[in-house]
A and B are shown apart, each in its own frame.
Chain A
Amino acid sequence: MATPDEQWWEAQAGEYALGTLRGTERDVYERILANDADARAKVAWWQNTLSTLDSRVEPVEPPSHLLPLIMKRIEQQRHQSQQTGRFSTSERGEREAHGEREAREAREAREAREERGERGERGERGERGEQTESTNRAERAARAELPDQVEASDPDERSVTLSASAPDTAEHDSRHTVVPHRRRRGRRSNLVWKSIAGLATAASVALAALLLQTTNREALQPTPAALDMLSLVQNESEQALWILSSTTGSDQLQVVALTPPPLEENQSFELWMVKPDDAGVNSVGLLPVNEGESVVLALPISTAEAQLFAVSLEPAGGSPEAVPTGPVLFSGTIRNIASQRF
C-alpha cells in the first residue's frame, strides 16, 4: 500500500492527465513536471492508461480548409525563423566556400569538448545550437566520405553499380557505401552516380539534425525508445520521398510513402539495403507508390549490418536478379538510433 504522500502525488498526476487539475494548481504542477522526471513518468502512465477511453470519443473529420491554414502558419514560422538569423544548409555551404571552414572546425572541436561536459545541464536552450553544430559535422563527414576522384576526373568515366560481391575494393576508400567503379563508357548513366553522391550528402545533413535531437532527448531522459532506426529516402532536392523505420527487436521495416515519384505501370521502385565496404546488397522489397500509403517489409539483414538504403527503378514486380538491374535513383542513410545513443 502506498503512503498517503505517494497517493497524493499519484492522484495529482492522475488529475493532471484527467484534466480536472485546473487554475493555479495546474500551473504549479506544470512547473513541477518541467523539473521532475518522476512526476513526468507518473503523468505518462496516466495518459497511457486513460487513453483507452479515447475509443469512446467518435472521430470527426475536420473541415478541409484547416490543413492549408496550418501549413500556411508553419510556412510563416519557418520564414520568421529564417529571418532571425538561422543559417540554412546552403548558406552555411557558401560561408564555408569563403574560407571559414578551418576556423569553424576548430571552434566546433572546442564546442564539442565543452558540450560533452555540459549537455546534461543545457536542456532545451542548447538544442538549436547543438543541432547546427551537428549539421555542420554531418556536412563535413559527408564531404569526407565522397570519393575525391568523383570531382577530380571526367564524370563520363564513371558509373555506379550496386554489386552483390566486392570485386574492386582496392580502388576506393572502404568507407564508401556506394562506390564508383571504372566501367565501360556508357554502360550506365553517370547521372546516377552524380545524383547518389549528392543524395548521400543531403541525406547525411538532413538526418544529422534528427540524430542530435534524439541524442538530446536521451541525455535528458535515458529511457529506451521504441523507434531504433529511421531513414529518409530523398531526391536530389532533399525532398523526402519515403520514410523507413523499424523498432527495437523487430525485423520489420515500416515504410510510408510521402511524395513518391510518378511511375509507369510496367515499373516498380525496389528498395535495397547496401552493406558497407562494398559487401553487396540485399533486396528488401517493392516500395508503395501512392502518397500516404504504407507497407511493412521484412528486413533481409539487420539495419546494423547495412549502411544505406537505395531505391532502384525496376520492371514491374522488381529486379529479376539479386542486384538492381535499373538505375539507382534515390538513397537514404540508415540511422541506428539505439546504437548511437549509448
Chain B
Amino acid sequence: MTHGSSTVDAPPASRPISTDPADQRLDGLISACADGIESAFEQLYKSTSSQLFGVLLRILRTEALAEEALQETYLKIWNNADKYKSARSAPRTWLSSIARNHAIDVLRKRSSREDIELNLDKAAMEIMPERERPMDQQHESSQMLEMCLEQLAEPARECVVRAYCEGFSQEELSERLQRPIGTVKSWIRRSLISLKECLDGHA
C-alpha cells in the first residue's frame, strides 16, 4: 500500500496520554472486558450507555432502531475489547466510533431514511447545548476545533457538523440543501483538508 509520503512511520497518536481519572477508569474497565469480566462490562455500560444512546438516537432518529443498535454496539464492544488501543484513541472516542460505525451500517441497510423523520432545522445546530467538558485538555482541543470550524464557509461547515452529529449522508445533504451531490462532496473534502491544516497549524 503506497500513498502519501509517510508510508513507513505512522503519525504519532494525536491525543496525549490522558491522566484524566474518568478516562483511566474506562481504560481499566475496557481492559477488564477483554479479560471476560462481565461486572466490568456492566459498569462500562452504566458509565457510557447514555452517551452512546444519545449518539445512536441522533443518527437513527427512532427509539426502536437506536435500542437495537445499542445492543449490537455493546456486543461489539464486549467482543472487541481486546482490540482497544488506548494510545490511539481516548476510551470514549473508541466507544463512540463503534456506535457510529454501527449506526452507519444500519442506515446503509435501509434504502433511505424515509421512515425516519428528518428535520433539517437551520437553527438546530445553534441550539444544541454544549455539555460540560471535564478535562482542560479536551476543552482546549474542543476550542481549537470550534475555532477552525468557524473558519469554514457556512454551507460547508454545516455539512461537516451535521454529517458527524446527525449521520447525514452526502445524498441527504445534497437533497436538503438543493445542491448537486458533487458540490456537497467537494465542500466536505475541502473542509476536512482545511480543518487538518488549521489544527496542525495550531498544534
| Pairwise interchain contact B82-A127, C-beta atoms closer than 8 A | yes
Instruction: Determine the distance from Cα of A40 to Cα of B66 in the docked complex, in whole angstroms.
Output: 27
Q: Which of A5-27 contact B (CB under 8 A)?
A: 5-11, 14-15, 17-20, 22-23, 26
A227 touches B89 (CB 8 A): no
B66 to chain A, nearest CB (A): 8
Cross-interface CB contact of A32 among B1, B129, B141, cutoff 8 Å: B1
| B37 and A240 contact, CB distance less than 8 A | yes
State whether the Cβ of B113 lies closer than 8 Å to any Cβ in chain A: no
Docked CA distance A71–B131 (Å): 30
In angstroms, how far is the closest chain A Cβ from the Cβ of B26?
A: 9
Tell me how far the C-beta of A141 lies from the nearest C-beta in chain B, rounded to whole angstroms.
17
Give min CB distance, A329 to chain B, whole Å: 18
Given contacts A10-B196, A74-B41, A245-B31, contact A294 B25 (CB under 8 A): yes
Q: A residues within 8 A CB of B41?
A: 71, 74
CA distance A180 to B85 in the complex (A): 40
B65 at the interface (CB under 8 A from A): no
Interface residues of B in 48-65 (CB under 8 A from A): 49-51, 53-55, 57-59
Residue A80 lies at the interface, judged by CB distance under 8 Å to chain B:
no
Measured in the bound complex, the distance between the Cα atoms of B36 and A239 in whole Å is 11
Given A14-B196, A18-B164, A294-B21, also A51-B87 (CB < 8 A): no
Q: Mark B73-101, 1 if CB is under 8 A from A, else 0.
A: 01100110011011111101110110010
Please tell me if the beta carbons of B58 and A243 are within 8 angstroms of each other in the complex.
no
Do B89 and A48 touch (CB < 8 A)?
yes
List chain B residues, Cβ under 8 A from A36.
Answer: 1
- Given A217-B85, A259-B39, also A247-B54 (CB < 8 A): no
> Chain A: which residue is nearest B41 at the CB level?
A74
Q: Are A7 and B18 in contact (CB under 8 A)?
A: no
State which size class the interface on B falls in. Answer: 35 or more
Which residues does chain B contribute within 8 Å of A42, judged by CB atoms? 11
B104 / chain A contacts, CB cutoff of 8 Å: 19, 22, 26
Kindly state the separation between the CA atoms of A245 and B40 in the bound complex, as whole angstroms.
13
Contact between chains at A52 and B40 (CB < 8 Å): no
Is A224 an interface residue when CB atoms closer than 8 A count as contact?
yes
Proximity string of chain A (21-52) to chain B, C-beta cutoff 8 Å, 1 when within and 0 when not? 01100100000100111111110111111111
Judging by beta carbons under 8 Å apart, are A247 and B1 in contact? Answer: no
A9 to B54, Cβ gap below 8 A? no
Candidates A3, A8, A53; contact of B5 at CB < 8 Å: A3
Q: Does A67 contact B (CB under 8 A)?
A: yes
Docked complex Cα distance between A55 and B19 (Å):
20
B42 within 8 A of A: yes
**Given A49-B141, A66-B71, A210-B34, A6-B89 contact (CB < 8 Å):** no
Main secondary structure of the interface of A (DSSP, over half): helix
- Which residues of chain A have C-beta atoms less than 8 A from B195's C-beta? 14, 49
Shortest Cβ distance from B198 into chain A, in angstroms? Answer: 11
A184 at the interface (CB under 8 A from B): no
Q: In the docked arrangement, what's the CA distance between A223 and B13, Å?
A: 8
- A286 sits at the interface (CB 8 A): no
Set of chain A residues within 8 Å of B161, measured between Cβ atoms: 53, 56
Chain B 1-15 per-residue mask, 1 if CB under 8 angstroms from chain A, else 0: 101111100111111
The distance in angstroms between the C-alpha atoms of A56 and B170, with both chains bound, is: 21
Residue of B18, B43, B130 touching A247 (CB-CB under 8 A): B18
Residue pair B14, A44 in contact (C-beta under 8 Å): yes
Docked pose: A39 CA to B11 CA in angstroms: 10
Asked whether B133 is an interface residue with its Cβ less than 8 Å from the other chain, the reply is yes
Residue in contact with A232 in the complex, picked from B15, B37, B125, CB distance below 8 Å: B37
Kindly report which residue of chain A lies nearest to residue B3, judged by CB atoms: A9
Q: Would B58 and A57 count as touching, CB distance under 8 A?
A: yes
Closest A residue, CB atoms, query B139:
A52
Is B4 a contact of A227 with CB atoms below 8 Å? no
Flag if B160 contacts A22 (CB, 8 Å): no
CB pair A73 B75 closer than 8 Å: yes
Q: Which residues of chain B are near A224, meaning CB under 8 Å?
A: 17, 87
Query: Which single member of B27, B37, B66, B129 contacts A258 (CB below 8 Å)?
Result: B37
* Residues A59 and B21 in contact, CB atoms below 8 Å apart: no
A213 close to B40 (CB less than 8 A)? no
In the bound complex, how far is the Cα of B37 from the Cα of A49, in angstroms?
30
Please determine whether A38 and B7 come into contact, CB atoms closer than 8 angstroms. Answer: yes
Bound-state Cα–Cα, A48 to B16, Å: 11
> Could you write out 14 A-B pairs with CB less than 8 Å apart?
A10-B196, A19-B100, A26-B104, A44-B88, A47-B94, A57-B51, A57-B128, A210-B34, A217-B85, A224-B17, A226-B17, A240-B32, A245-B24, A256-B29
7 smallest CB-CB distances across A and B, nearest first, come from: A14-B192, A245-B28, A52-B142, A59-B50, A41-B10, A254-B24, A11-B189
Additional 17 contacts, C-beta under 8 A, given A57-B54, A291-B43: A2-B193, A6-B3, A6-B4, A20-B169, A40-B88, A41-B13, A46-B192, A47-B97, A54-B96, A56-B129, A207-B35, A223-B10, A239-B39, A240-B32, A240-B40, A252-B21, A254-B24
